[in-house]
Chains A and B, each alone.
Chain A
Amino acid sequence: MNAIELARLDIAYGPARVVHDVSLTVAEGESFALVGESGSGKSTILKAITGLAPEWTGEISVLGNPRAHRPDRGFAKTCQMVFQDPYGSLHPRKTVDDCLAEPLAVHGVGGRDERVKAALAAVGLDRRFRFRYPHQLSGGQRQRVAIARALMLEPRILLLDEPTSALDVSVQAEILNLLKKLRRAEGLTYLLVTHNLPVVSFLCDRLAVMRHGRIVEVAHVEALKTGRLADPYSRELYAASGGTLQPA
């Protein structure tokens, strides 16, 4: 079964159409990247999947179930999202414990104490962080909390929107290692949005290059590693990221 299937997807914000005729499939257990410049519509696709950008036409199905045009409670258990800015995505007046326990309370899941402890351990945070507020944590620690929160309901799919671009290089390495380890341990499916091609090389199996709201190329990560992307725009992006082009 495919984890995510998009067919002929158009997405609009009011009068502006930002994504045009996007079709792609992400297999279960796969790690798939959407790359492109700002404004190319890559984050909008994640938003449409979660129900945050309701004006879309076409088909979106997740684990075989078609998505409706609004957020739905059951969906939260299969698919969760991690946002770019760990400074903006945690409630400043809630402790780490509140933040991690909330999805459990909303969904009426028991054994909260154990689950919160387990989640902290899974993302490599010491127990002493459990009752701290976000302002007492560093950027990397906050992103760990955001990832732990996304994992509380044991989803099978994670949507990652630039999860490391607000972080320092050394902290980025820690978070990338964590994401790789979690995926292996839990058999997760990732749909990752980024403009950083080396991150795709490290974390993903396939990628789609987007421009002006359309997919210009879908490639295996090997094509990226060896510099053999086919589309002229993908090659331009690749060269601008410091890669050495090879004949396609």
Chain B
Amino acid sequence: MNEQQKISARRVRFNLLDGVIVLLVVLCIVGIVFRYSIMDSLGLGDEMAEYRVKFSVTGIDSTLPNYLGEGNTLYFADGVKAGKLCGISEFSLLNEAAAGSTTLVCRTASVYIDDGNGSLVLASYPSQTKIDAEGAFNCNGTYGDDSRFSIEGEKFVSVGQSVTVYTDTVTLNITITEIVPIN
């Protein structure tokens, strides 16, 4: 074999498969650069921070709080993770005995009802029947440029909104009462 043939034999052959691989690697690098630099400058990548979302529930069975535990993961009805349920010490000054639960501040349920004389009165249910409660969960979220708060950048929620959330054992309809950053 002469020198020219030897050089030909040693030449690196660039084929279609190598081209596809190089293209995929370049796309991955571009994606990473886009995610961590250009997205932020375009305002598309708002930083997530920890927030505490406080909520209330009304008219639930008095035994329901027994099935909730501190640290339970909450999910929205569509399966999106909402956050982790707080213990009462994280959002309330009450202790477990006063609150009636480790995760919810419970009180006897009360409703506005007609007293028969045309007036509305706030009446309470008998004890150990129905309760109203407050709770909270911690989540990662961010406020967008439109001042809307989103959890994990996926789920938009706002104060006053009623949503269905669930843990592994409980399904709850909650009303969001406050969204505060966790320092």
Asked if A pairs with B, the answer is no
